[in-house]
Amino acid sequence: MTEHEDGEGSGSPPGGARQRGMIAARTGLKVGGNYARYLSRRATGADRDEARADLHTRNAEDLFTELSKLRGTALKMAQGLSMEPGMLPGQFADILSKAQYEVPAMGPALVHRLVAQAFGMPPQEAFAAFDLTAMAAASLGQVHRARLHDGTDVVVKVQYPNVRESVDSDLKMVRALAGRFVDLHLLDPYVEEVRERMMEETDYINEGRNIEQFAARYANSSIVTPRWVEARTTERVLTMTHVDGQHLKAFLATEPSRERRNHFGQLLWDTVHEQVASDHLSVHADPHPGNFLFREDGTLGLLDFGCIKVFPRAFRDHLLGLYRARMAGDTAAQKRAYEALDMLPADLDGEERTYLMEILDAFGGMIQSLYEQDMYDFSTGELLSRFQDIMPRLTGREAFQHRRPVGSHHFVFVNRLLVGLFSMMTQLGARVDVRHARRCLEQVRPDSLMPVG
């Protein structure tokens, strides 16, 4: 049986670059058709705002439908875009957020075959019980409830076919698209950074090791992580102990009290800062809502350890040095940190330097505002408002004139971490005590700072 003989809705993504390219091209045609429909409605006198909202909704639905077929890197991008406040119209954020929870699953026959291939025996022999219907499906794989022969309840993550093989072809498409906006030779380090993390994320043995490391470092009376079942794990099938709880969407649907939202927001806020400041130099770099569980007993479940970013010490220390310089109002130290982090390249002309300094100062002020008082209230919407004020300068004509990415390639996952954290905190509407976070960030004071390299 081939990967596409498993029945309609089997969920096997196309693996070849040509097939995936055709789907991407078809998406472009659909978007073009939607835009033509929008212009037609405007020409007939339709309400401009209604027509624009309809355009955004159709484009977002078509984009999600096609990216769900591709999965892999393409759907990971949709996850990221859905968390970018102010980056896309609200219709896109709402629809693309389904990439966190509602990806179409593979059919039972295909799952049966993949698990049997992984273990050399059918799932009903490898496990005492195995549910062939997925409990959830995401961008790289889907998870199934199962039980080991010793009675332990587990979750088994099964990777979609072709995902690992499609990483390079997907990134080539992304690179080609980005080439319309930035100089390609400057983009390559960032593309390679994404490629390295994606290759790690599609190696489930690597993820199993990450699970154990994070359990040893961060699991405590407030944070719960699964544990790896090494004997039932291969590169493309991962078995781990089951952790129950509600994802953010389901948790918020219960209309939790402000006290409970503050409680979970505090746990989330503190654990991220503890990771950033740790001597382990590694952070959970996939902080979208599908990877956290809000548990009845008040503990926070942390899931999915495929994407772990390990920072060079010099980069992390310069980054925290920049934070301290902002808090102290030390502009000379800020400039040194910007240069060390490749945020102010030496070959910038005067206009580019002025533009970048204004952007950096705006972002720095936004981050700094989170730590200036002992408490910060994410329910006010102030953070989102400030971000939206900055966005026109990042996406408008002025930004197009400065066709170069700036900042070390390590910022790819710093930005992802910050956007995911701020998005979840805003959705929770949590009010948090920032003093522990400040202590974490201030405790890292190296004797000397080496170049990032």
SS3 of residue 224 by DSSP: strand
Which pLDDT belongs to residue 194?
A: 85
More confident residue, 95 or 200: 200
Is 163 a domain residue?
A: no
CB atoms within 10 A of CB 334: 23
Amino acid at 70: L
Lowest mean pLDDT among 48-57, 236-245, 417-426: 48-57
Cα-atom radius of gyration of the chain, to the nearest Å? Answer: 23
Taking the alpha carbons of 321, 323, 327, 333 in that order, is the dihedral positive or negative? positive
Which pLDDT belongs to residue 9?
A: 43
Q: Tell me what percent of the residues of the chain surpass a pLDDT of 70.
A: 70
Tokens of 107: 């059919």
Average pLDDT of span 183-189: 78
Q: Which one-letter DSSP state was computed for residue 97?
A: G
Give tens-digit pLDDT for 112-165: 999 999 999 999 999 999 999 999 887 789 999 999 999 999 999 999 988 888
Q: Are 302 and 284 in contact (CB under 8 A)?
A: yes
Boundary-marking domain end, from 49, 77, 100:
100
Check pLDDT > 50 for residue 244. yes
Is 64 a domain residue?
A: yes
Is 355 a domain residue?
A: yes
Question: For the chain, how many structural domains are there in total?
Answer: 2
Boundary-marking domain end, from 100, 134, 169:
100
Lowest mean pLDDT among 91-100, 122-131, 201-210, 367-376: 91-100
Which pLDDT belongs to residue 79?
A: 54
Average pLDDT of span 291-315: 95
Task: List CB contacts of 26: < 8 A, sequence separation 6 or more.
Answer: 66
More confident residue, 251 or 5: 251
The angle formed by the CA atoms of residues 310, 311 and 314, to the nearest 5 degrees, is: 155
Which pLDDT belongs to residue 170?
A: 75
What is the 3-state composition of the chain as percent helix, strand, coil, each rounded to the nearest 5?
60, 10, 30
pLDDT band at 401 (very low <50, low <70, confident <90, very high): low
Give tens-digit pLDDT for 67-119: 556 666 666 655 555 445 544 555 555 555 555 555 678 899 999 999 999 99
Check pLDDT > 60 for residue 398. no
Dihedrals phi, psi of 304, to nearest 5 degrees: 60, 95
Residue 250 host element (H or E): helix 248-253
**Segments forming the whole domain that contains residue 74:** 17-100
Q: Tell me what percent of the residues of the chain surpass a pLDDT of 90.
A: 52
Q: Are 295 and 267 in contact (CB under 8 A)?
A: no
Task: List CB contacts of 89: < 8 A, sequence separation 6 or more.
Answer: 56, 60
The angle formed by the CA atoms of residues 78, 81 and 83, to the nearest 5 degrees, is: 115
Please state, rounded to an integer, the average pLDDT across all residues of the chain.
82
Is 335 a domain residue?
A: yes
pLDDT band at 47 (very low <50, low <70, confident <90, very high): low
Which pLDDT belongs to residue 185?
A: 75
Torsion angle of the four alpha carbons 13, 19, 20, 23, in this order, in degrees rounded to the nearest 10: -100
Is 384 a domain residue?
A: yes
Which pLDDT belongs to residue 210?
A: 97
Which pLDDT belongs to residue 140?
A: 86
Is 175 a domain residue?
A: no
More confident residue, 7 or 378: 378
Average pLDDT of span 11-16: 56
Tokens of 415: 């930005």
Lowest mean pLDDT among 13-27, 48-62, 339-353: 13-27
pTM for this prediction: 0.80
Check pLDDT > 90 for residue 333. yes
Lowest mean pLDDT among 33-47, 48-62, 356-370: 33-47
Is 205 a domain residue?
A: no
Sheet holding 300-302, edge to edge: 223-224, 300-302, 292-294
Which pLDDT belongs to residue 289?
A: 87
Check pLDDT > 50 for residue 36. yes
Q: Are 115 and 133 in contact (CB under 8 A)?
A: no
SS3 of residue 137 by DSSP: strand
Q: Are 60 and 91 in contact (CB under 8 A)?
A: yes
pLDDT band at 2 (very low <50, low <70, confident <90, very high): very low
Boundary-marking domain end, from 100, 127, 147:
100
More confident residue, 90 or 428: 428
Give, in order, the Cα–Cα distances in Å from 250 to each of 63, 79, 83, 267.
24, 18, 17, 18
Is 443 a domain residue?
A: yes
